Structure 1
Amino acid sequence: MKLTIKDIARMAGVSPGTVSKVINSTGNISQKTIDKVMEVIEETGYKPSFSAKSLATKKSNLIGLIYAGEVNVEFNHPFFNEVINSFKNAIGQLGYDILVFSNKEFNKEKEDYLARCKHFQLDGCLIVAGDHIEEALKQLDQSEIPCVGVDLELKGTNSSYVTTDNSKVSSKVVEYLYLNAIKEVAFIGGPDDSVISNIRKESFIHHMNLFGMSVRPNWIKYGNYFEQSGYDLMQEVLAQKPYPQVVFAASDMMALGALKAIKEKRMKVPDDIKVIGCDDIEACRYTDPPLATVRQDKDKIGKLAAYMLHDLINGNTESGSLLVDPELVIRESCKIENYLKVRG
């Protein structure tokens, strides 16, 4: 039989409220009473539920993890998986457990994130976003529940978000190519209504124009961040000449698909066409050739999200945003000989 706080109170000869105060180290309780209650707890092996503990602290020490959007990201998504692992480790050290929202039947009429948070007495939420965010997420953002978004701009008074500086993602790529006298570049992005992809695309176009590098509309493609999409769009680019010197994909997964399409055309990377991706997922190191990319600091993003959420929960910070600098990582797929010297 599972023991309750009332059972412990009866065995110790005290009130349930006294047991709660002992468990949560609150109130003015004599040492004799504390010892008596703790002795019963140790003898019975009683473990207080989070709801019993939260009665006194007003906190459950539970964080909700939401994979949001009509096009959801998945647990095995290479980029978000590493971010979540980093977040999990950091938030665990701060004393929290994670509850993943997965019950599609919680409310059969509509998705209701706020109702779930209140039902489970969550202290806060981490939101990882796909595309086409539901209205229910906006309601959660505007609520009293502290929230932190990853790659998702939140505007609520109890919300913050952390993301890579996506404008710099493209500027670093274009600058590297310009310094190496490369001017013919194709861009393979995410969906045409994706906020993150559009920031990268607009920055790409801006910096191409800034350096006098021509932007060809038929070399700007829209996909869905996954490998098959990169493969299909690269085939479209290769369907007509001239070919670009470089293909810049807004995700490593799409870049891997582009690599496959180029090889099927019996062309060589990087000799015929160079390829560069974005994210620096683990697979980049083991492709043939190893994939050049723009590294997003996934460990830092996860840790920042954990610390920001913890501070929001405890009222130690105001809502806001943090941008994390990306890093250009040149590997064989976009290697250029005599870097910075070819222009001479």
Structure 2
Amino acid sequence: MRMTIKEIARLSGVSQSTVSKIINNYDDVGSETKNKVLQIMKEHGYRPSYSAQSLAKKVTHVIGVIYAGRVNADFNHPFFVDVLNAFKNSVGRLGYDLMFFSNEHFHEGDEDFLERCRHYNVDGCIIIGGETIQPSVYALDESEILCGIDLTLRGKNSTYLMTDNDEMLAKVIEHFYLEGHRDIGFIGGQKPSTIARLRLDAFHSAMRSYQLHVNEDWIYEGDFFEQSGYEAMRSFLQQESVPSAIFTASDLMAIGALRALKEAQLPLHSYSIIGCDDIDAAQYVDPPLTTVRQNKEKIGQLASRLLKDLIDENMHGVERLVEPELVIRASSNPVEG
């Protein structure tokens, strides 16, 4: 027979409400009664319903994970995989599980993340930025649900963190400048993407700081994946003049750009290519890729700690920027001559 609270109460000689209080660790039950009930629960192998406990305590120890963009695109990207792994490990040590929300119906316009978060009674949620943000994400930002990461959230219960994109591009353009490059191109992400816009704005700002001309023909809108970097480089090579240095907003696009140069049988030492993320593959491509390392482990860990402090009401919404690091390898080269 399956044990229930009613049966445990009968065997213990107490009310069902007393058993419920003991399960939910209320402090107004005597120790003798509590120990007796716990012993009977142990003898009969009774395990309280986790969902019932969660409802009673108004906490679930569950964090929702939402990708705010085109269906599942960024969950295929190694950067987000690494960040989410770090977040999962860190938040797990804090006693939380993760619930991934599907956005398969985004193209139909019927997502409602706020209602789903309320339905599952998540303690908070983490939002991964995509190239097109659903209106329901901004409704979630303005709600009582605690959320953050990788989007410029402004709600009173929201916090966000990301790599400092201004510092990132300042380091990149300084490196190109010191190598002697003045003709600099940019391969970015989709324009609706928050990260893509921030990096493009930072590129313009860094170029201005060195009084370098921005050639709009050398700015290409990719999608953070390898094929778009390949197509961007092919597009540059078909122009009358070609940039000698190129920053790509992801390592995958940089790898694609290098592939295009190789196919065109051009000397790689005549070009300087810098990627972004420092994914594992960056050090193994030929030539090894110079890149901006985003501290994925730190971003994931910080996201979990910031969200925990929001849940515990130890802080209000804040912005945190993580310092990038330029990792110099063989794909960046000084101007010859």
Into which bin does the TM-score normalised by the smaller protein fall? over 0.9
Q: Tell me the distance in 2 between the aligned counterparts of 1:95 and 1:61.
A: 7
Q: Tell me the distance in 2 between the aligned counterparts of 1:153 and 1:209.
A: 24
Deviation, structure 1 residue 275: 1.0
Mapped contact 1:230–1:253 kept (Cα < 8 A): yes
Most deviating of 187-196 and 48-57? 48-57
Q: 1:111 to 1:288 in 2, by over 3 A?
A: same
Q: Tell me the distance in 2 between the aligned counterparts of 1:242 and 1:192.
A: 25
Q: 1:56 to 1:226 in 2, by over 3 A?
A: same
Q: Tell me the distance in 2 between the aligned counterparts of 1:2 and 1:251.
A: 55
Tell me how large the CA RMSD over aligned residues is.
2.2
Deviation, structure 1 residue 3: 4.1
Q: 1:194 to 1:91 in 2, by over 3 A?
A: same
Equivalent in the alignment of 2:253: 254
Equivalent in the alignment of 1:204: 203
Mapped contact 1:251–1:277 kept (Cα < 8 A): yes
Q: Tell me the distance in 1 between the aligned counterparts of 2:113 and 2:191.
A: 27
Tell me which amino acid in the other structure corresponds to 2:314. N
Most deviating of 108-117 and 186-195? 108-117
Equivalent in the alignment of 2:238: 239
Q: Work out whether 1:280 is the aligned partner of 2:278.
A: yes
Mapped contact 1:71–1:131 kept (Cα < 8 A): no
Structure 2 portions without partners, runs of 5+: none
Equivalent in the alignment of 1:79: 79
Q: Tell me the distance in 1 between the aligned counterparts of 2:6 and 2:152.
A: 45
Q: 1:201 to 1:306 in 2, by over 3 A?
A: same
Q: Tell me the distance in 2 between the aligned counterparts of 1:81 and 1:151.
A: 14
Q: Tell me the distance in 2 between the aligned counterparts of 1:296 and 1:207.
A: 18
Equivalent in the alignment of 2:20: 20
Mapped contact 1:20–1:52 kept (Cα < 8 A): no
Mapped contact 1:160–1:308 kept (Cα < 8 A): yes
TM-score normalised per structure 1: 0.91
Mapped contact 1:73–1:129 kept (Cα < 8 A): no
Q: 1:7 to 1:55 in 2, by over 3 A?
A: farther
TM-score normalised per structure 2: 0.93
Deviation, structure 1 residue 93: 1.0
Q: Could you say what secondary structure the match of 2:70 adopts?
A: coil
Most deviating of 22-31 and 224-233? 22-31
Q: Tell me the distance in 1 between the aligned counterparts of 2:2 and 2:90.
A: 32
Mapped contact 2:71–2:104 kept (Cα < 8 A): no
Tell me which amino acid in the other structure corresponds to 1:185. I
Mapped contact 1:290–1:331 kept (Cα < 8 A): yes
Most deviating of 243-252 and 63-72? 63-72
Q: 1:44 to 1:74 in 2, by over 3 A?
A: farther
Paired residue total? 336
Equivalent in the alignment of 1:330: 328
Q: 1:16 to 1:142 in 2, by over 3 A?
A: farther
Q: Tell me the distance in 1 between the aligned counterparts of 2:40 and 2:305.
A: 37
Mapped contact 1:21–1:56 kept (Cα < 8 A): no
Q: Could you say what secondary structure the match of 1:334 adopts?
A: coil
Equivalent residues in 2 for 1:50-69, closer than 5 Å = 50-69=50-69
Deviation, structure 1 residue 175: 0.7
Deviation, structure 1 residue 56: 3.6
Mapped contact 1:71–1:132 kept (Cα < 8 A): no
Runs of 4+ in 1 over 6 A off after TM superposition: none
Q: 1:233 to 1:315 in 2, by over 3 A?
A: same
Deviation, structure 1 residue 100: 1.0
Q: Could you say what secondary structure the match of 2:36 adopts?
A: helix
Q: Tell me the distance in 2 between the aligned counterparts of 1:10 and 1:145.
A: 40
Most deviating of 235-244 and 67-76? 67-76
Most deviating of 248-257 and 113-122? 113-122
Q: 1:248 to 1:8 in 2, by over 3 A?
A: same
Q: Tell me the distance in 2 between the aligned counterparts of 1:119 and 1:278.
A: 38
Equivalent residues in 2 for 1:301-312, closer than 5 Å = 301-312=299-310
